[in-house]
Structure 1
Amino acid sequence: MKPVDLMTALVVLLAVGAAPASALTAEQINTATFAARPYQKASGPNPLIVKAQVLLSRRSISPGVIDGIDGENFRKAVAQFRRQEKLSESDELDEVAWRGLGGDTVQDVVAEYKLSDKDTDYDFADDIPRDYAKQAKMKRLSFTSPQEMLGERFHMSEKLLMELNQGQAFTEAGSRIYIVSGDRSLQRGGAKRVEAVKSTGMVVVYGEGDTILASYPATIGSKNTPSLSGQYKVTRIARNPNYTYDPEKNFQQGKNDETLVLPPGPNNPVGTVWIALSEPTFGIHGTPEPSQVSKTTSHGCVRLTNWDVEELADILRPGVPVHFLD
């Protein structure tokens, strides 16, 4: 057999889609252990943190976007897990917390997913303009790429999705891709009360017997437009809502000085769900920018990722009290 030189071998590997040696793999995440943790990584998703984020998500302790980064929302989720498990007060993922999550034993956090015809036939928007007047002229504020759509569906950052699927265009039905499997299942209508806790930046949902059903990192108001205080009630839950921009009631966006009705879609300013409260114009809603939850301010409302507010909408019903706590 004719020997193959190094350059030819490299070309062959790239042609069949082989991932570079430095690529993050499903196996690295699934088999991550605390003892062998590469906890401090210079850049990019960390296998141990990806695994921990998925395990937290499975307990309905949302880390926000699953991105493998030791960031604010991951720390919030770890701190909430420790509170619920009555561990020492901290936001550190130490060995005790890792064992409590089952970190060394669970090995199915990354799974395969086959792209469907529905996935690849989705009508993506070319672009979402920042200006509300331009958004109001669109038919739908859709996803702009397969990466955005799939990342949101599986609660992942686009960067993590692409790290796990290097060379994948996500455009061919039948293609198999790697996704994280952080699904959770909660009883519909099971919520008895909700707390929006400003000090921890978390929305915590309680069920029968005051058991904690779920918790979500949240943006809760801002210094200029603070959120509510006291107790209110859920009055209405709207899925796939329009958004009515009224500069006299809301805020000033660009040069827009007239009321505008923006179409629905995941890139709508309030995302995919609006949960109206008994105080007019205030509510709990989603966002077109899930990575910015907790990192940017809101106009007095409570902002969650789209997938977290969709789950919250499933377990809420009108009349459930919402407490705003300092």
Structure 2
Amino acid sequence: MKTSIIPLLLACAWAQAETDVPPVLRAQVLLDRAHFSVGQIDGVYGNNMRQALLGFQQAHGLPATGQADKSTLAALDDGQPALIPYTITEADITGPFQPVPEEMADKARLPALTFSSVEEALGERFHASPMLLKRLNRNKALSHAGEEIMVPNVNGGKMLPKAAQLVVSRSAHTLSLVDAGGQTIAQMPASTGSEHDPLPIGDWKVNGVARNPPFHYNPKLFWDASPNEGKATIPPGPNNPVGVVWIDLSKEHYGIHGTPEPGNIGKTQSHGCIRLTNWDALLVADAVTPGFAVVLKE
């Protein structure tokens, strides 16, 4: 029986491409697909990645090293590539794109808080920092329709099991989804308050979920607001101050939400709320319902 050599050549070429993926980057993509998010995939080992590895290891009975060791990578390996080709479309480059002003009053005048560039939009879609996309695609035009680029393969993970509880750890800077048996089934980095607006430790519940919400800015609720600022309604969009989703909690003025600055999640403080990347916030929004149990702990 005659066998075509073309599939074999393609498989060999792909295997070679996979060996060229830096180990840290490969681990970050595998963790993302396993629902143990590092936040924004950037190819750099930092605290978000360490916490993701620790969470995955503890959930799967592995030694809690916080490192991408052989046993952890073997457990993470789902047989899919870390990077895949993607062809930029006309829709990708059409936008609309616009700079995001600093002042709330200026944001309120815009029709929507859209992405500021095609690089930012592609980064959001593939859970990656725009700088990583540029490094992966040197000499490629990310704003040119028809250009084939390499991107993190963040789709195709297993469906998330049913969650029974949401737990936020202030000390670990993480949000976890836990099943009825107490097993952590998802974890992601979170910004969880500050000395001015500390995380409200205790047991709460989800009131409801609003997708693509406007943001009602009240300077009286922000310790660092300028004295001359007034209330403002900020239109929806990925660069809205609460990102693309707001999960309202039973603690007044507190919620879980997305962000226009995914690279800062888990690394900077918030105004008391629990802030996630937009893609992680959407995952949580799909997992919770009104009355869902929320535990905020040290």
TM-score (norm 2): 0.89
Are 1:50 and 2:38 matched, yes or no? no
- Of residues 281, 287, 296, the one that matches 2:259 is 287
Return closer, same or farther for 1:67/1:209 CA change in 2, 3 Å cut-off. Answer: same
- Of residues 211, 230, 233, the one that matches 2:183 is 211
Contact 1:29 1:48 in 2 (8 A): no
How many aligned residue pairs are there?
284
Contact 1:286 1:309 in 2 (8 A): yes
Which amino acid letter does the alignment assign opposite residue 19 of structure 2? T
Give the CA deviation at 1:173. 2.7
Return closer, same or farther for 1:264/1:251 CA change in 2, 3 Å cut-off. Answer: farther
> Higher Cα Rg: structure 1 or 2?
1
Which residue number corresponds to residue 173 of structure 2?
201
Output aligned runs, 1:263-302, within 5 Å. 263-302=235-274
Which residue number corresponds to residue 121 of structure 1?
94
1: CA distance between counterparts of 2:218 and 2:26? 43
Which runs of no fewer than 5 residues in structure 2 stay unpaired?
1-13
Which residue number corresponds to residue 50 of structure 2?
75
Are 1:30 and 2:30 matched, yes or no? no
Return closer, same or farther for 1:256/1:169 CA change in 2, 3 Å cut-off. Answer: farther
Are 1:85 and 2:60 matched, yes or no? yes
Which runs of no fewer than 5 residues in structure 1 stay unpaired?
1-25, 33-45
Give the CA deviation at 1:101. 2.1
2: CA distance between counterparts of 1:142 and 1:149? 9
1: CA distance between counterparts of 2:228 and 2:252? 22
Return closer, same or farther for 1:314/1:107 CA change in 2, 3 Å cut-off. Answer: closer
Are 1:61 and 2:33 matched, yes or no? no
Contact 2:88 2:147 in 1 (8 A): yes
1: CA distance between counterparts of 2:75 and 2:293? 31
Return closer, same or farther for 1:27/1:60 CA change in 2, 3 Å cut-off. Answer: same
Give the share of equivalent positions with the same residue, in percent.
Answer: 37
1: CA distance between counterparts of 2:144 and 2:68? 39
Give the CA deviation at 1:255. 4.5
Cα offsets for 1:214-266 (capped at 9, x unmatched): 11111111122101111111111111111111112333433543111111111
Are 1:251 and 2:226 matched, yes or no? no
Contact 2:196 2:223 in 1 (8 A): no
Describe the SS at the equivalent of 2:24.
helix
Q: CA RMSD in A?
A: 2.0
Are 1:241 and 2:216 matched, yes or no? no
Cα offsets for 1:75-105 (capped at 9, x unmatched): 1111111111222333222233223223xx8
Are 1:131 and 2:95 matched, yes or no? no
Which residue number corresponds to residue 15 of structure 1?
none
Which amino acid letter does the alignment assign opposite residue 190 of structure 2? A
Give the CA deviation at 1:174. 2.9
Give the CA deviation at 1:319. 1.1
Contact 1:265 1:272 in 2 (8 A): yes
Give the CA deviation at 1:146. 0.7
Cα offsets for 1:147-182 (capped at 9, x unmatched): 100011100111110111122222333322211102
Which residue number corresponds to residue 4 of structure 1?
none
Describe the SS at the equivalent of 1:219.
coil
